[in-house]
Structure 1
């Protein structure tokens, strides 16, 4: 049987699918594995560039409100060398906190794994700390979370949206080493990684997908985890 003969199309749940022999399936998988290995190596090269990129020394003092009272940027490190700060879009008296930021919070790993590599992770928001703590309790999160008290967000390229900044502390000196926003934050999300492994993908209309795949606008299907139908 030729390869062409071993490939048939069939509509399954309204989506046109290619049904192949086990031999062809294994061949296709081998080709995918090659591409995945290339992507992995590309990620490794990108991470290497991050490790060797320049730093900016922070010469301004910043204050935050946390569960234990007022804190400085150095305090957020919690005696560790590295600090990852996620800027969550929770605002004062926010009736509808950002679904995307909440999905990020749902996917944060157990922080002990980061702590083992001398790294702290915290969230910051413009909302008052009393509202932050109430929202954390409602959502079941235990991530260290602080209220920004000054120009911290704007000074680090986060104004109306969300973002992630990385810092390094050497004694009393603090340096900014990295920043990303937009789809750069997808690397934090296992939800998107899992969906990318499935035949339907993320089911968003920017994706190339098999004919008949039902898709929606990006972001519109996102909900806080306790608000899905």
Structure 2
């Protein structure tokens, strides 16, 4: 759910980034065929890669094993524990987001939002930046608009966003 709301803003900026020698690529752990089908449903054209079977998401601390979760050994947003999704069992918005995503809370909580930047120089890839949790809000296209609206994000009622093709479906 998070990525879909964030990704709705990617199509329009990809060309601008490319003309500044920047490539935007989304990465998810789902199998590529599933990502491509969802991408087509949403009408997205930006590059989207699958890290299924690889360590990319784990290496950048946005995905966690079930064992690490049980042991309370999750390092996310530059600290160990203390994040709302670390307190299992979780109720409220986290449980609602898990249900909206078609999974249970522990599984949902093992994947979290993050953004990383890399530079390629002389054939070497350098990791130059990462941000997590609320640090990702800056690329979430609707947030700057809502943050300036009279009621702001109006988050008090729990999960409030949907896949863009789900609005009006009850």
Under a length normalisation based on structure 2, what TM-score does the superposition of the two structures give? 0.66
Alignment partner, residue 121 of structure 2:
170
Alignment partner, residue 119 of structure 1:
22
Deviations 1:40-67 (A, max 9, x none): xxxxxxxxxxxxxxxxxxxxxxxxxxxx
Structure (1/2) with the larger helix percentage: 2
Alignment partner, residue 156 of structure 1:
60
Q: Does 1:223 align with 2:141?
A: no
Structure (1/2) with the larger strand percentage: 1
The 2-side partners of 1:127 and 1:151 are apart by 13
Unaligned residue ranges in structure 1 (runs of 5+): 1-98, 206-215
The 2-side partners of 1:126 and 1:201 are apart by 32
Under a length normalisation based on structure 1, what TM-score does the superposition of the two structures give? 0.50
Query: Which runs of structure 2 are paired with 1:1-229 in the superposition (5 Å)?
Result: 99-108=1-10, 109-148=12-51, 149-159=53-63, 160-205=111-156, 216-217=157-158, 220-229=159-168
The 2-side partners of 1:204 and 1:154 are apart by 29
Unaligned residue ranges in structure 2 (runs of 5+): 64-110
Deviations 1:59-112 (A, max 9, x none): xxxxxxxxxxxxxxxxxxxxxxxxxxxxxxxxxxxxxxxx22101000123311
RMSD between aligned residues:
1.2
Aligned partner of residue 169 in structure 1, secondary structure:
strand
Size of the alignment, in residue pairs? Answer: 119
Structure showing greater Rg: 1
Structure 1 consecutive aligned stretches of length 4 or more whose deviation exceeds 2 Å? none
